[in-house]
Structure 1
Amino acid sequence: MTESIVISNSVFIILGAELLFSLALPIAAIIIWKKKTDASLSPFLMGAAAFFVFAMVLEQIIHFLVLGLNSAVSDFILSRPWLYAVYGGLMAGLMEETARFLVFKTMMRRNIGRENAVTYGLGHGGIECFIILGMSMISNLLLAAMFNSMGAEAFIAQYSPGQTEAVAAVIADINAVGPGTAALACFERACSLALQVELSVLVFAAVRLNKFWLYPVSILLHMGIDFFAALYQTGTLTALWAVEVMLGAYVVALFFAVRRVYKKLPPEAPTKMLDHFGRVVKG
């Protein structure tokens, strides 16, 4: 019962550590990359902006129209976990890879060097890391602080009878956070950041090397990992550690393929080596 729960200091420390990680990981990554390559920081900011616009605004609008109106379509998709996973993975891949493709074609048309693909990926994945992990931890910290400050009875009394069960479940989940679950969450975000960089390199190559087929391949690769994440969210897959191990293996395997593509991309060079569409001009 929530009436007997007091959220311990150790939980606050763990939540704070996860919040710190969500900020430190992308910041440290871009600082190290900047120091190593002297790359421009503008692609980092473009990546962050593109993720926010396409994933957090446009994609959410589509989800609302498809899943949020209690229509026959939404009922059909939501009642079938595998179909929901396909839909969720496809939408994430389509929106985010299209964001990359459009930015590389337009706003980054003159950023020829392959270093810019990594910089963009760090911005795209970095803001995702903070939004998904960091903002969740801020919310959890605020709820936990309010719960301890007000006391369980007064805290629960704020909510309607229909909400109390869900609120109690949230508090129980927060209080159950331990080092293991926190480590898995941080591992997931680190792998996701690496994946965003890898996919950015592939789409960058689709534009710079005029290999359009890499764009739909990136969508499918993105969809593949989000498919399993959605199956976990629906309870079809129940072992979180297995999903995270799968994510880690996926990222490592993709790294070796992406590294070959990266080496084929040109380093930073004068803008005259690009045509009007941002493609590398062959000498």
Structure 2
Amino acid sequence: MVSRLSIVMIIVNMILGVLIPVVIMVFFKKKYKACIKSFLMGCVTMLLFAMVLEQLVHIVVLGSEIGTVIQGNIWLYALYGSLMAGLFEETGRLLTMRYVLKKEHCNTYNALMYGAGHGGFEMFMVLTIGMLNNLVYSVMINLGQAQTLLEPLDDSARSTLQTAFDTLIQTPSWYFILSPVERLAAITAQIGLSVTVWHAAVGKTIKGRLYILAIVLHAVLDGVAVLAAKSGISLILVEVYVWLIAAGIAFIARNVWKKAKKDDLYA
């Protein structure tokens, strides 16, 4: 049986996946007069570049002989995955900010609003949509209907789903608290990366060094997270690593913003 507290925590996560991005959006709108269009374009860019285009490339690459080698080595897999995430997301960010949000350059706080949309959509997909399966599985397990899902599957799929069931049953309820904690770190990093790329995108020419910096920072965040998670260390320590890197990204973004303001290079 999946504990009732675990089910409650799953539902709370699903609610937070919607509530947190909306609260951040409203805050930036009221405090900084940032444009909601920036938030929405952050959502669209995240969907298109990270969840469609990047995934299509993964299907091709990881389905090849090279992909077999990559997946067989955790270091190569972390390097490949983190660089691809950085490349696709930061390229999408750059193109959207420079060309789609050109009229929004007059308010630099739209960088924050864009980051809230980009990271907020990711939070929604992980916490709300991602936890939906957990909720359905938990309810069916507790109703004794798990076999209904398992029976029509082949051996491989059945084994995978059974592992998911076992994980839900065995996971302590308090572990679910770590999901929104990790997502808050991620959205902090996404806002920081958005600020960095914003200052690469605005102006007469694209500042390539800031664009590359964003790709590297993104890759470091994702790569360390993957390696830490696969190392067998406690989830709490993994979250500490993620938060430290997210804080570092936010600090760098703050300095980029301050330097741009000091040099009067951007609107």
Q: Same fold (TM over 0.5)?
A: yes
**Whole-angstrom CA distance in 1 between matches of 2:213 and 2:226:** 20
Find the residue that maps to 1:114 and give its secondary structure.
Answer: coil
**Cα drift, residue 189 of structure 1:** 0.1
| Residue 38 of structure 2 is aligned to residue 43 of structure 1 | yes
| Residue 21 of structure 2 is aligned to residue 26 of structure 1 | yes
TM-score when normalising by structure 2: 0.91
> Identity over aligned residues, as a percent?
31
**Whole-angstrom CA distance in 1 between matches of 2:25 and 2:118:** 11
**Whole-angstrom CA distance in 2 between matches of 1:97 and 1:162:** 36
Residues 123 and 153 of structure 1: CA distance in aligned 2, closer, same or farther (over 3 Å): closer
Structure with higher Rg: it is: 1
Deviation readout 1:100-152 (Å, 9 max, x if unpaired): 11011110112112111000000000000011222111111112222333434
| Residue 12 of structure 2 is aligned to residue 17 of structure 1 | yes
Report runs of 4+ in structure 1 exceeding 4 Å deviation. 152-155
Q: CA contact under 8 A between 1:121 and 1:196: conserved in structure 2?
A: yes
2:184: which partner in 1? Answer: 190
Kindly tell me the number of residue pairs found equivalent between the two proteins.
Answer: 262
**Cα drift, residue 38 of structure 1:** 1.7
| Residue 104 of structure 2 is aligned to residue 111 of structure 1 | yes
| Residue 219 of structure 2 is aligned to residue 247 of structure 1 | no
**Cα drift, residue 178 of structure 1:** 3.2
| Residue 166 of structure 2 is aligned to residue 172 of structure 1 | yes
Residues 42 and 146 of structure 1: CA distance in aligned 2, closer, same or farther (over 3 Å): same
Deviation readout 1:72-120 (Å, 9 max, x if unpaired): 2111111111011000000000000001110111101121121110000
2:121: which partner in 1? Answer: 127
**Whole-angstrom CA distance in 2 between matches of 1:83 and 1:161:** 29
**Whole-angstrom CA distance in 2 between matches of 1:47 and 1:153:** 41
Find the residue that maps to 2:103 and give its secondary structure.
Answer: coil
Residues 161 and 280 of structure 1: CA distance in aligned 2, closer, same or farther (over 3 Å): closer
**Whole-angstrom CA distance in 2 between matches of 1:14 and 1:179:** 7
Question: Can you give the 5+ residue segments of structure 2 that lack an aligned partner in the other structure?
Answer: none
| Residue 223 of structure 2 is aligned to residue 227 of structure 1 | yes
Letter of the aligned partner of 1:104 in structure 2?
M
**Cα drift, residue 7 of structure 1:** 2.4
Question: Can you give the 5+ residue segments of structure 1 that lack an aligned partner in the other structure?
Answer: 1-5, 267-278
| Residue 85 of structure 2 is aligned to residue 64 of structure 1 | no
1:199: which partner in 2? Answer: 193
Residues 42 and 154 of structure 1: CA distance in aligned 2, closer, same or farther (over 3 Å): closer
**Cα drift, residue 159 of structure 1:** 2.9
**Whole-angstrom CA distance in 1 between matches of 2:250 and 2:154:** 49
Find the residue that maps to 2:153 and give its secondary structure.
Answer: coil
Q: CA contact under 8 A between 1:104 and 1:207: conserved in structure 2?
A: yes
